[in-house]
């Protein structure tokens, strides 16, 4: 088994994308390959084949590699619940809740989970392509590091450093990062990849020559900016969809402070008839209103009660009531479903301070947070239309009340979610609601989209984008040099 680690000069330098592309390139060449991210901090997650939970970007990389996502691929997942605390997930299972200082001290123990997961993957795959987190030059986080060079040193693997030229200062990024590493870390950094380049490569080449002369390390390639590339985001939200001349249905999503699994909306970003927009803080309120919409979707949340309070403070409760009076539709997904009810109770403080918060009162049920997260991949049907639907559940909380007697879906033979008698308000615990074109078309038709036959086959789109990415790496990276690093 051989491991290669891709690290970046900054967050969002392109590590996740490069790892996904390399996994697809190697898989197409017949290599048994798996992705690995020792530690991730993200609210977008996926359910694994072994019933665990990992970061969504790592699950995408497993798809690129042609293998089922497994909890060993992301042994430490941190899901922020506030600015200073997070839920800690070890090898797919909830370990507990820690503030930043406690977790920093805990990393020495977390190393054992990281090493055990890496060893387990090593027994099943010939090659592991690992991904760092943030930057390896975060001086304040280097003690007991498991996310970047601490892991690379632990397993003695080579590192390739990625810099993002699109944001500017790429030579300072790369050289400055090297300068802040130890001698052994600089030695194991074998070279660079320049990401997101636009323009004439001949204008960049003198700088690349200087970089190699200055550091003694090669540039393995310069990747062009891939216009329109849409793959599962690790955490950041794209603020809009691809609005074309045929976009007639307007969908608005509040950008909650702890929004989770916003990948749910990627199929809507791609839909040629949908105008999707996320509305962030201070974009509505006194003197301001939400954009005109046919459908408001309340997304998933890692901290349902605090995000519900944020909605109120931002003026969404009144805006939603007004939207419904004018005939609009509202859909809640997971935490968004919980917000639609009469109240959300968290007596044990599983998602923040213990207590209860009034819901929006649009559906007659209440939710109680209970220990034991629901993690499962599921399939079923949209009840009214009978079309197939599939996705996954990741949530705390049990909802009970008369509104649930009118479910929106049937999943694995059991009812899920709720729908108001007039059909204006809908909710479900299912993530991936729009992934299947038939289900997407049926739901959008409910919201007034005429002839909704243009829904994108989202799963096919993901595969096509991964192939496009791999083609780009094949054309622009020195893959022979990368394979030598892997011993292939």
From the centroid of its chain, how far is CA 398?
A: 24
Alpha-carbon distance of 88 to 44, in angstroms, equals: 14
- 326 by Cβ neighbours in 10 Å (0-12 / 13-18 / 19+) ranks as exposed
Taking alpha carbons only, the member of 79, 83, 82 closest to residue 94 is 79
Q: Is 262 a catalytic residue?
A: no
Q: Do the Cβ atoms of 197 and 211 come closer than 8 Å?
A: no
CA distances from 52 to 15, 90, 91, 146 (A): 23, 9, 7, 20
> In 263-334, which ranges are continuous DSSP H helix?
266-270, 304-313, 316-325
Q: Is the dihedral of CA 33, 39, 44, 47 positive or negative?
A: positive
Single out the residue of 255, 463, 428 nearest to residue 341, CA to CA.
428
Of residues 96, 367, 354, 57, the one with CA closest to residue 233:
57
431 a catalytic residue:
yes
User: How many Å apart are CA 488 and CA 481, to the nearest integer?
Assistant: 10
DSSP-assigned beta bridge partners for residue 191: 160
For helices 56-65 and 15-28, what crossing angle results, to 10°? Answer: 20
The candidate with the shortest Cα–Cα distance to 40, out of 4, 5, 75, is 75
Q: How many CB atoms lie within 10 A of CB 450?
A: 10
Cβ 18 vs Cβ 195: under 8 Å: yes
Instruction: Find the catalytic residue in 23, 334, 440, 472.
Output: 334
Say if residues 269 and 230 touch (Cβ distance below 8 Å): yes
Q: Give the per-residue SS3 of 173-232.
A: HHHHHHHCCCHHHHHHEEEEEEEEECCCHHHHHHHHHHHHHHHCCCEEEEEECCCCCCCC
Q: Check if the beta carbon of residue 366 is closer than 8 Å to that of residue 41.
A: no
Catalytic residue among 431, 440, 447, 472: 431
Crossing angle for the helix pair 56-65 and 458-476, to the nearest 10 degrees: 70
Catalytic residue numbers read 334, 431
């Amino acid at each position: 088994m051989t491991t290669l680690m891709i690290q970046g000069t900054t967050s969002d330098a392109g590590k996740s994308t490069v790892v996904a592309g390399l996994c697809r390139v190697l898989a197409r060449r017949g290599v048994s390959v798996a992705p690995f991210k020792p530690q991730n901090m993200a609210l977008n997650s996926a359910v694994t084949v072994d019933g665990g939970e990992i970061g969504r970007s790592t699950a995408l990389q497993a798809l690129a590699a042609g293998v089922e996502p497994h909890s060993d691929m992301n042994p430490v997942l941190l899901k922020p619940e506030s600015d200073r605390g997070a839920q800690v997930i070890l090898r797919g299972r909830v370990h507990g809740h820690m503030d930043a200082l406690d977790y920093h001290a805990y990393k020495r123990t977390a190393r054992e989970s990281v090493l055990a997961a890496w060893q387990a993957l090593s027994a099943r795959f010939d090659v592991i392509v690992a991904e760092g987190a943030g930057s390896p030059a975060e001086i304040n986080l280097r003690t007991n590091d498991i996310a970047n060079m601490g892991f690379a040193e632990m397993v003695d693997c080579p590192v390739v450093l990625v810099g993002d030229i699109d944001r500017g200062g790429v030579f300072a990024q790369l050289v400055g990062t090297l300068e802040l590493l130890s001698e052994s870390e600089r030695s194991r950094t074998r070279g660079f990849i320049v990401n997101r380049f636009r323009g004439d490569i001949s204008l960049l080449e003198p700088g690349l020559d200087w970089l190699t002369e200055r550091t003694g390390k090669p540039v393995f390639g310069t990747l062009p900016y891939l216009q329109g590339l849409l793959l599962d985001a690790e955490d950041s939200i794209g603020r809009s969809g691809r609005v074309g001349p045929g976009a007639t249905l307007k969908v608005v999503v509040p950008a909650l402070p702890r929004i989770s699994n916003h990948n749910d909306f990627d199929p809507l970003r791609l839909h040629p008839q949908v105008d999707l927009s996320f509305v962030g803080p201070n974009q509505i309120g006194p003197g301001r209103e939400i954009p005109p919409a046919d459908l408001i979707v309340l997304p998933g949340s890692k901290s349902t009660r605090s995000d519900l309070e944020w909605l109120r403070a931002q003026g969404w409760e009144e805006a939603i009531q007004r939207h419904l009076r004018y005939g609009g539709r509202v859909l809640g997904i997971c935490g968004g479903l919980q917000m639609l009810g009469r109240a959300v109770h968290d007596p044990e403080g599983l998602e923040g301070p213990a207590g209860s918060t009034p819901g929006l009162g649009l559906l007659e049920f209440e939710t109680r947070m209970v220990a034991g997260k629901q993690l499962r991949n599921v399939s079923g049907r949209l009840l009214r239309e009978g079309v197939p639907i599939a996705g996954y559940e990741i949530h705390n909380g049990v909802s009970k009340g008369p509104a649930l007697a009118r479910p929106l879906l049937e999943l694995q033979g059991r009812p899920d979610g709720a729908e108001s008698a007039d059909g204006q308000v809908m909710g479900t615990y299912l993530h991936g609601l729009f992934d299947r074109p038939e289900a997407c078309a049926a739901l959008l038709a409910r919201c007034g989209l005429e002839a909704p036959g243009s829904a994108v086959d989202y799963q096919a789109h993901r595969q096509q984008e991964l192939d496009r990415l791999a083609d780009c790496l094949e054309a622009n990276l020195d893959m022979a040099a990368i394979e030598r690093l892997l011993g292939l």
